[in-house]
Amino acid sequence: MTALGKLFRTTAFKLTLVYLTVFALFAFFLLGYFALNTKRLFTEQVTEAVDAEITGLVDHFNAGGIRRLTFVVEARSRRPGSSLYLVTTPGSDGLAGNVGSLPTGALDKPGWSETVYRRIEESESSELHRALARVYHLPGGFKILVGRDLEERDRLFQVVLNAGKWSAAVVIVLGLAGGFFVARRVLHRVDAMTETTRSIMGGNLSGRLPVAGSGDEIDRLALNLNEMLARIEALMRGLKEVSDNIAHDLKTPLTRLRNRAEEALRTSRSEQDYRAALEATIEESDSLIKTFNALLMIARAESGQARDNMVECDAAEAAQDVGELYEPLAEEQGLSLEVDAPAAVLLHGNRELISQALANLVDNAIKYAGPMAKANGIPSVVTVQARADGDRVLLSVGDRGPGIPESERGRAVERFVRLEKSRTIPGSGLGLSLASAVAHLHGGELRLEDNAPGLRAVMVLPRGGPLPAATPAQTGATERV
């Protein structure tokens, strides 16, 4: 019963009921109109014919008196059909015709009336028939009644009425069955969706809503919800990845911190020893805070929160400013830093984040190319470039350092990944993933290329910034989050 009740409460079923009622009313009115019109037409025909006949009979009376009239009426009465005739004396005694009995007083008033009668050959006990008749008083008190039996009209009316009843019955049965069927189908699909949603809420984030493939509105809804689920799943996976990585990679420096403090307690003899140990502790915790900030920053960029703060800004200016900030450091490391950003390159973005990403890339370049340049004794160049490429902006940092082998480039962008060769270089290992997150936030991507030799990191950003609708779903679906 509850299942049936659920069915009756569905929108599909309610809609069916409404349509059904509307259609039934419509059919009813149509048939009624048809019936009434038929009746009217029939009556019109009868009155016209009867009027004409009476005129003819009056002519006969005028020409040949009552004898001729009775003669003509007798002749006509013998013809089969629905025509009714009666000629009477002024005292209402029948002279000629095929009408046997009439209600008393039916002939008293001239004019039209619907009356009942029996044919002359029928007995007193037989059923009365209905007729439409006109009474005409002739000069001399004689009366004529001419009419038509109404049985035909009534039968037609009955037929129409029956048709109406049957069609209404059929419409209702079919409509209810259809509504039932549609409602059950919809209910079935919605139930399936509800069940999937429950399982997703229960923690199975990889569940997806069923799509029937018919491309109807429920399918479109399911597809959209599935895209949303994919995005949520990707975000959750990202979150889990972050927490896993935080757990793993922050524990290492925390352990170091703790060990150092413990060691200081155990072995320090002088105030100077303690002071040194404490300073080292503060330094270590500062670098932990830096790592933590970078992580938060990446998480924030990836969640798309910073999109609100995007304005028109100049990538060339950002490149020049970052270049200028790092130029002395590069020089100190035996490198020369060149900025190639001759013309303004406007884009819709967050200047602070773009600068930070760029700073991280330059910092990386100096860290990796510097020692190599020093070892080889050959000064090498770090190039910061900003240029427009169609509707995209390319912000790149190229170095002549060891580079990253092609097979490891994908992994290099991931959080905390520090490729084996770089273990000795200080840093959180978040620089590339931060740049990648910032690029994603702007609807673009970070590409690592061979600078032959060295590494070229390119942030490819769309000029117009992220597309408001498309980006979240697309980055979630097609790219690493």
Partner 1 sequence: MTDATGPHDAMRLLIIEDDRDAADYLVRAFRETGHVADHAADGEEGLAMALDGDYDVLIVDRMLPKRDGLSVIGELRAKKIQTPVLILSALGQVDDRVKGLRAGGDDYLPKPYSFSELLARVEVLSRRRGGRNEETVYRVGDLELDRLSHRVTRGKEEIILQPREFRLLEYLMKHAGQVVTRTMLLENVWDYHFDPQTNVIDVHISRLRSKIDKGFSQPLLHTIRGAGYMIRDGSRN
User: Which of 74, 122, 363, 449 is the binder for partner 1 (CB under 8 A)?
Assistant: 363
Question: Binding to partner 1 by residue 237, rule CB under 8 A?
Answer: no
User: Which of 398, 431, 462, 476 is the binder for partner 1 (CB under 8 A)?
Assistant: 431
CB of 345 to partner 1, least distance (A): 19
Q: Which is nearer to partner 1, 20 or 288 (CB)?
A: 288
Q: Which is nearer to partner 1, 12 or 397 (CB)?
A: 397
d(C-alpha 84, C-alpha 77), whole Å: 7
d(C-alpha 129, C-alpha 149), whole Å: 7
Beta-strand relationship, 83-88 and 346-349:
unpaired
Q: Which is nearer to partner 1, 114 or 331 (CB)?
A: 331
Ramachandran category for residue 250: left, alpha or beta (phi over 0 → left; psi -120 to 50 → alpha) = alpha
Place of tokens 């008190």: 141
Single-letter amino acid code for the residue at 373: A
From residue 448 to residue 467, the character string flagging contacts with partner 1 as x (rule: CB under 8 A) and all else as - is --------------------
Residues 293-352 that bind partner 1 (CB under 8 A): 293, 296-297, 300, 306, 308-309, 321, 324-326, 328-329, 332, 352
Taking alpha carbons only, the member of 60, 100, 97, 55 closest to residue 75 is 97
| Segment contacting partner 1 by CB under 8 A, of 33-41, 157-165, 425-433, 452-460 | 425-433
Question: Binding to partner 1 by residue 366, rule CB under 8 A?
Answer: yes
Assigned token pair, 32 = 């009624």
CB of 352 to partner 1, least distance (A): 5
Q: Is 60 helix (H, G, I), strand (E, B) or coil?
A: helix
Question: Binding to partner 1 by residue 219, rule CB under 8 A?
Answer: no
DSSP line for 5-31: HHHHHSHHHHHHHHHHHHHHHHHHHHH
Tell me, by CB under 8 A, how many residues bind partner 1. Answer: 31
Question: Binding to partner 1 by residue 415, rule CB under 8 A?
Answer: no
Q: CB within 8 A of 334, min separation 6: which ones?
A: 370, 373, 374, 379
Burial (CB count within 10 angstroms: exposed 0-12, middle 13-18, buried 19+), residue 318: buried
Taking alpha carbons only, the member of 43, 197, 63 closest to residue 134 is 43
User: Which of 356, 380, 385, 451 is the binder for partner 1 (CB under 8 A)?
Assistant: 356
From residue 259 to residue 288, the character string flagging contacts with partner 1 as x (rule: CB under 8 A) and all else as - is --------------------x--x---x--
Q: Which is nearer to partner 1, 234 or 359 (CB)?
A: 359
Burial (CB count within 10 angstroms: exposed 0-12, middle 13-18, buried 19+), residue 193: middle
Residues 37-96 that bind partner 1 (CB under 8 A): none
**Chain residues that interact with partner 1, rule: CB under 8 A:** 279, 282, 286, 289-290, 293, 296-297, 300, 306, 308-309, 321, 324-326, 328-329, 332, 352-353, 355-356, 359-360, 363, 366-367, 427-428, 431
